[in-house]
Structure 1
Amino acid sequence: MTRYQVRPATDRDAEHVAAVHATSLQAAYAGAVPPSPQDLPMAKRVAFWRDAIEYGEPFVQVATDESGIVGFVGYDRSRDPKSKATTGEIWALFVLPRHFDKGVGLALWDAAREGLLEEGCTDVTAWIALLNDRAMRFAELAGFKRELASARTAVHGSVKLEEIRVRRTLN
């Protein structure tokens, strides 16, 4: 298994984070969601991640190997309006497809869990599209449980996806 280093993202990482994000999304939804002309243009994706990294909203950490950035995680307090102040949220966790099933996601999850604990969070949530089997398996293996009553339809570009919130404690 390749050894991955996880570190806080810097401004210089925004383009790589945006590329990992786009590539991973394409792989996750290939064949299930058609590409859309309204998909977020790369320049806007880079700007989003640059702002996130600069302002720490969410906190962004990247996983690297000898080839460079291979994945990232964004996490912060929960954005759900009725959540407790001690609830964190994984806003994003993406890995390049060639690094699937090699421990990158686990290394990123460990970094996010540690960061959320340092922020005083006691539990954590994430929203996962129901058709993203890989993400759902990963979350369940990491101890997350589905909150069935949370199912919602989210609009991503021109595509509507059914999502469900998953939750676990941070002990």
Structure 2
Amino acid sequence: MSDYEVRPATLRDAKAIAEVHAAAARAAYEGILPEDELRALAPATREAKWREAIEFSEPQVQVAVLDGEVVGFVGFDRSRDAKTPSTTGEIWAIYVLPEHWDKGVGVALWDAARDGLEEEGCTVVTVWVPLRNDRAMRFHELAGFKREMKTAKTTAIGSVKIEEIRLKRNV
């Protein structure tokens, strides 16, 4: 039994989501991105994006809360990849404050996203993960995702290009 409550995000959560996103991204990309790019991962650059996502449910956003504090979030919806069937969902983002890593928060968020995607009629779910983000890769593989080897792509984060690969599993 988890002490974390997972619920749909509200507009009041946008600032906390941006803070989680920035803190978790800085920790996750340490050693992958240079120090100046890590410092640029600031909550102020993300709050408006998450406010809009919550307002328009694109993607749907769920938060994990412990003692009234947002400690993680997941954004999910239909796949943004071209030529995927309408039954393909995608985890657009999943982030947890580093001090809550390895405590079941990610699993609780993944379970909520899977339930939401299932309600939307999705039968398959994908997620893009940086190849060098070993923690995220391990999390998704433990959750049953398999690498789609021919999907590798290069994405820019600030001035740095990183290699990502799509992982996929049945909902």
For the criterion TM > 0.5, the same-fold answer is yes
- The residue matched to 2:162 in structure 1 has which SS? strand
Letter in 2 for 1:158: S
- The residue matched to 1:85 in structure 2 has which SS? coil
Q: Quote the Cα distance in structure 2 between the aligned partners of 1:6 and 1:95.
A: 12
- TM-score with structure 1 length normalisation? 0.95
When the two structures are aligned, how many residues end up with a matched partner? 170
Identical residues among aligned pairs (%): 62
TM-align CA RMSD: 1.4
Q: Quote the Cα distance in structure 2 between the aligned partners of 1:158 and 1:41.
A: 15
Query: Where does residue 125 of structure 1 map in the other structure?
Result: 126
Off by >4 Å, runs of 4+ in structure 1: none
Q: Structure 1: which 5+ residue stretches go unaligned?
A: none
Q: Quote the Cα distance in structure 2 between the aligned partners of 1:100 and 1:34.
A: 23
- The residue matched to 2:35 in structure 1 has which SS? coil
Is the 1:36–1:157 contact (alpha carbons within 8 Å) kept by the matching residues of 2?
A: no
Q: Quote the Cα distance in structure 1 between the aligned partners of 2:62 and 2:139.
A: 18
Q: Deviations over 1:123-168 (max 9, x none)?
A: 0000000011000000000000000000010011111110000000
Q: Quote the Cα distance in structure 2 between the aligned partners of 1:31 and 1:163.
A: 16
Structure 2 counterparts to residues 11-160 of structure 1, below 5 A? 11-36=11-36, 39=40, 41-66=42-67, 68-160=69-161
Q: Quote the Cα distance in structure 2 between the aligned partners of 1:14 and 1:133.
A: 27
- TM-score with structure 2 length normalisation? 0.95
C-alpha deviation, 1:92, in angstroms: 0.2
Q: Quote the Cα distance in structure 1 between the aligned partners of 2:25 and 2:71.
A: 14
Shifted more, 43-52 versus 114-123: the winner is 43-52
Q: Deviations over 1:93-126 (max 9, x none)?
A: 0000000000000000000000000000000000
- The residue matched to 1:14 in structure 2 has which SS? helix
Quick check: which one's helix share is greater?
2
Q: Deviations over 1:57-115 (max 9, x none)?
A: 00000001115010000000000011111000000000000000000000000000000
- The residue matched to 1:50 in structure 2 has which SS? helix
